[in-house]
Amino acid sequence: MKIAGSTALVTGANRGIGRHFAAALLERGARKVYATARNPEQIDLPGVETLRLDITDPEAVAAAAAVAGDVDLLINNAGITTMNDLVRGDLGEIRRELDTHFYGTLSMIRAFAPILGANGGGGILNVLSALSWATSPGAGAYAAAKSAEWSLTNGARLELADQGTLVTGLLLAATDTDMMAGWDIPKNDPADVVRQALDGLEADQTEVLADDDTRRAKALLAG
């Protein structure tokens, strides 16, 4: 996967890691970057092509795919956190987490896989979380949804190998974005996370672990 000369689409590009991805892709020489969000008027990054996209809306996903038929790199970044536990949390909010992280990401992959295949294979990068492999009180819904998205990433990688599409998972712990603004804890620099992710794509890595906390979380699975 080569970033220079590529045509990329980034979901949730109006802020946080998504905005960093869009900016870094341009800096690395991407030919075109589709920056998408539910409210694209919030995207303030020069040089991108904005699209309105709610990944939980099948019609919006289909409309984006119809416009962006030249994409050869899909970055599934859009996400939410509702701070709900699984047993006593709001069931509707738990479903909303799964609709976003699992079904929304799956909808994007299903819509863009034929486009990627027609354009030579290309790549998909899914922004996951160290909580794919762990959980904590208040994050049960998020952890379950990210765990499902990790499994989706692994399954899609196998299913799309025959068309030459690289599917990479980016896993990270606390990172300095709006989503983590209320937490007074050490945080990753989002620009560094994005740099590692794009370096990983260009090295054809299937998984990028962005920090020590994430590497420990995966290592502890063996215990």
Contact 129, 174 (CB under 8 A): no
170: DSSP letter:
E
Domain boundaries, the chain: 7-222
Q: What is the pLDDT along the chain (223 residues), one digit of tens a residue?
A: 999 999 999 999 999 999 999 999 999 999 999 999 999 999 999 999 999 999 999 999 999 999 999 999 999 999 999 999 999 999 999 999 999 999 999 999 999 999 999 999 999 999 999 999 999 999 999 999 999 999 999 999 999 999 999 999 999 987 666 665 565 666 768 899 999 999 999 999 999 999 999 999 999 988 7
Half-sphere exposure of 222 (CA within 13 A, CB side): 4
What are the b/e assignments for 119-147, b being 16+ CB within 10 Å? bebbbbbbbbbbbbbbbeeebbbbbbbbb
- H/E element holding 71? none
How high is the pLDDT of residue 174? Answer: 74
DSSP three-state, residue 70: coil
* Residue 68 identity: A
Which CATH fold topology does 7-222 show? Rossmann fold (3.40.50)
Listed in sequence order, the residues at least 6 apart from 11 whose beta carbon sits closer than 8 Å to its beta carbon are 18, 36, 37, 53, 55, 75, 76, 77, 78, 108
Distance CA 118, CA 214 (A): 35
**Structure pTM?**
0.94
DSSP three-state, residue 78: coil
